[in-house]
Amino acid sequence: MIGLTQVYALAGFVFAGFAVLSLRDSANPRRMRNALFWGLFALSFLAGDRLGDLGNGILVLVMALAAALGLGRSGTGASDAEARAASARTYGLRLFLPALLIPLMVLAGSLGVSHGGPALAALVDPKQATLVSLGVAALVVAALSVHLFRQPVLSPLTEGLRLADTVGWMALLPQMLAALGAVFALAGVGGVVGETVTRVFPMDTRLAGVVVYCLGMAGFTVLMGNAFAAFPVMTAGVALPVLVGRFGGDPAAICAIGMLSGFCGTLLTPLAANFNLAPAALLDLDDRFAVIKAQVPTALVLLAVNTVLMNVLAFPAHP
């Protein structure tokens, strides 16, 4: 059965390819450091479950040391501005086709596994249908792009390395911050937060609990940089004991809208560097916080809408 193991293996092989290309990149004066960084990242995907807690801890520390010493930028996939402009003129809007195909293929794959009957469910793990579909879509779209735009076979890896080196250590933030949320959950931080919040903000009504949970998800995400890190803390502290336990809310709806509220916080924080600072660097913007400033109105409106929707949709109607 195709599941998370195969998706992790695919990601591991991609990062292993980055490590090999970095090692061979004579234009990068820090190629050894880059090769070590991406090689260890690949190892975490390929054999992280076999390394144990100590092994993974050492791996992360070595990666952090390599990043702290400074990573270089790949020249392997770089092409001059004139060549890029000429390619854009030649292919026009067709350049957007691969990017648009990925979400469509992921949606089709997820729905197909869910409604494709027992044969397809035996081939693909239904619990991981979305991630498996994303991995398949990435492979198909990479191959299609090479064919459509007449690029070298290795161009997905070389251009991927160029982008990865530009983002650098920020590529690790989603994993690290999600892991931080799991650590907080195991340490019982959610219970402490819940007790503190209920003392400071009386939640005698359903609306008050919803407001505290939605604002708390956004606020903790701003502080922690990732909604996946904030989710176990706020859900264990407020959503489950108050909104579900006391007011009888639908756990699925509450958690789904709560995550959307957390994503509103993601739009507002520089700690989500891979989302908010990296694009500014990639686009060579003078203001490194320009992306965040542009997202503030959208984040605030969405947060208000999420709060209203949770209060209306997540609780069964009482006769």
Roughly what angle, to the nearest 10 degrees, separates helices 31-69 and 155-167?
A: 20
Check residue 78 and give its pLDDT: 53
Give me the pLDDT at residue 171, please: 76
Neighbours of 315 (CB within 10 A): 18
Q: In sequence order, what are the residues at sequence separation of 6 or more whose Cβ sits closer than 8 angstroms to the Cβ of residue 298?
A: 267
- What would the pLDDT profile of 267-297 be if each residue is shown by its tens digit? 999 888 778 877 877 777 888 899 999 999 9
- Give me the long-range contacts of 250-257 (CB less than 8 A, separation at least 24): 250/314, 250/315, 250/316, 253/310, 253/313, 253/314, 254/213, 254/310, 254/314, 255/231, 257/214, 257/306, 257/309, 257/310, 257/313, 257/314
Res 116 pLDDT > 80: no
Separation CA 142–CA 305 (nearest Å): 37
Tens digits of per-residue pLDDT, 26-47? 888 888 999 999 999 999 999 9
What radius of gyration, in Å, describes the C-alpha atoms of the chain? 22
Cα 178–chain centre separation: 9
What is the band of 58 on the pLDDT scale with cuts at 50, 70, 90?
A: very high
Query: Which residue's structure tokens are 């299609």?
Result: 144
Are 44 and 59 within 8 A, CB to CB?
Answer: yes
Kindly state the percentage of the chain with pLDDT values over 70: 95
DSSP 8-state symbol, 80: -
> Given pLDDT bands bounded at 50, 70 and 90, which one contains residue 298?
very high
Nearest to 282 by CA among 151, 148, 171, 158: 171
SS3 label, residue 254:
helix
Judge whether residue 317 has pLDDT over 80: no
Q: Which residue type is seen at 3?
A: G
Q: Which alpha helices (DSSP H) does the chain contain, by range?
A: 4-23, 31-69, 81-91, 97-115, 117-123, 129-148, 155-167, 173-186, 189-200, 206-224, 227-234, 251-266, 273-276, 278-282, 290-313
Does the global pTM surpass 0.75?
no
Q: Which own/partner pairs from 134-138 qualify as long-range (CB within 8 Å, at least 24 positions apart)? A: 134/7, 134/102, 134/106, 135/6, 135/7, 135/10, 135/11, 136/105, 136/109, 137/101, 137/102, 137/105, 137/106, 137/109, 138/10, 138/102
Q: Are 255 and 214 in contact (CB under 8 A)?
A: no
Q: What is the DSSP letter of 271?
A: T
Q: What is the pLDDT of residue 215?
A: 93
Estimate to the nearest angstrom the gap between the alpha carbon of 9 and the chain centroid. Answer: 18
What is the average pLDDT score of the chain?
A: 85
Give the pLDDT score at 319.
Answer: 42
Residue 120 has which token pair? 């397809």
Asked if 185 and 236 touch (Cβ cutoff 8 Å), the reply is yes
Over residues 235-263, the mean pLDDT reads: 91
- Tell me the two tokens of residue 145: 């792009």
